[in-house]
Structure 1
Amino acid sequence: MEYWDLYDKHFQKLVRTHLRGEKMSQGIYHLVVHVCIFNQKGEMLIQQRQAFKEGWPNLWDVTMGGSALKGETSQQAAMREVKEELGLDIDLTNCRPSLTNHFEHGFDDIYFIHQEVDLSKLQLQYEEVQDVKWASQQEILELMREGQFIPYYESLINLFFEMRHSVGMIRESI
């Protein structure tokens, strides 16, 4: 069983938890995390979801995504999920999310990191991930147009690539 901490609309933690799979109450939210790993070529590490996964089976997705468990900070959840799904250790202890997105039932903290990763050394979690690869922005957009990538807004993927070097809404010179 997986339990999540619950939050109010101001992202203040409540003294309640939620069992994954149960219906969320109106005005109650949970925390989700995503990590996008970029290499020196400016490519993003993407993963292909397992064929038997509920929700978008066989589709490609950003590096990692998952829900924070009861008692976890955003950083702890992101580090755990990357370790579980890819067998990769990352350190986000002193990092803030690059972006936080609000969705119907929660908050989604998104981290952008730069790391060279040898794909042959990753240990993919069988229950979650069937494959990984590096992909350029254009390759991801093409996968989306072909229906092979989770149907994010194209502008969101463009924003991820645009923001990968900085935090905030002002473009810094690169």
Structure 2
Amino acid sequence: MLIQQRQPFKQGWSNLWDITCGGSAVVGDTSQQAASRELFEELGIHYNFDKIRPHFTINFEHGFDDYYLIEYDFDLNELTLQTEEVQAAKWASKEEILNLIKLKKFIPYYESFIAYLFESRHHYGSIRL
């Protein structure tokens, strides 16, 4: 999984690693437009989300997060990191991410959530067919 490290001056979870990438939709955006914009702003990656839907949505007290799981081949050296948000990016295995969580160097996601991201990246839904 491509993960990114938040800037030390970023409010909320400073300096911690996180899944790539996150942000908020603006008025008039579809979820796909917001995802495309945030991916480009934070990492310089152009990706067209128009023909895909989120793999899943998680609701919370003041909104929701749509999660898109995409496979996209690119060279890490070609990333353009948004200096206001991202200080580093790298590829990480599930085990590496879980270890970073234990070391308190990654946003403290549930272990089962990280496992679900890796397991469900090739299919939609919650049933194995």
TM-score range, shorter chain: over 0.9
Which amino acid in 2 is paired with 1:57? S
Match of 1:81 in 2: 38
TM-score (normalizing by structure 2): 0.98
What is the deviation of 1:171?
2.1
Q: Which has the higher contact order (CA 8 A, sep 6+)?
A: 2
- If the length of structure 1 is used for normalisation, what is the TM-score? 0.73
Structure 2 unpaired stretches of 5+: none
Instruction: State the shift of 1:107 in Å.
Output: 1.2
Q: Which has the higher strand share?
A: 1
Identity of aligned residues (%): 60
Superposition map of 1:106-121 within 5 A: 106-121=63-78
Size of the aligned set, in residue pairs, is: 129
Could you list the structure 1 runs, at least 4 aligned residues long, displaced by more than 6 angstroms after superposition. Answer: none
- Matching of residue 72 in structure 1 with residue 29 in structure 2: yes
**Partner AA of 2:42 in structure 1:** E
Out of 112, 115, 120, the residue aligned to residue 155 of structure 1 is 112
Deviations 1:48-78 (A, max 9, x none): 0000000000000001011111110000000
CA distance in 2, matches of 1:170, 1:91: 27
Counterpart of 1:126 (choices 62, 65, 83) is 83
Q: 1:102 aligns with which of 37, 42, 59?
A: 59
Q: CA RMSD in A?
A: 0.6
Shift of 1:163: 0.4
Structure that is richer in helix per residue: 2
Q: State the match for 2:48 in structure 1.
A: 91
Structure 1, unpaired ranges of 5+: 1-43
Q: Distance in 2 between matches of 1:69 and 1:107?
A: 14
> How many Å separate the matches in 2 of 1:171 and 1:104?
30
Give the structure with higher Rg (CA).
Answer: 1
Query: Quick one: distance in 1 between partners of 2:70 and 2:96?
Result: 19
AA partner of residue 139 (structure 1):
E
Task: Tell me which amino acid in the other structure corresponds to 1:61.
Answer: D
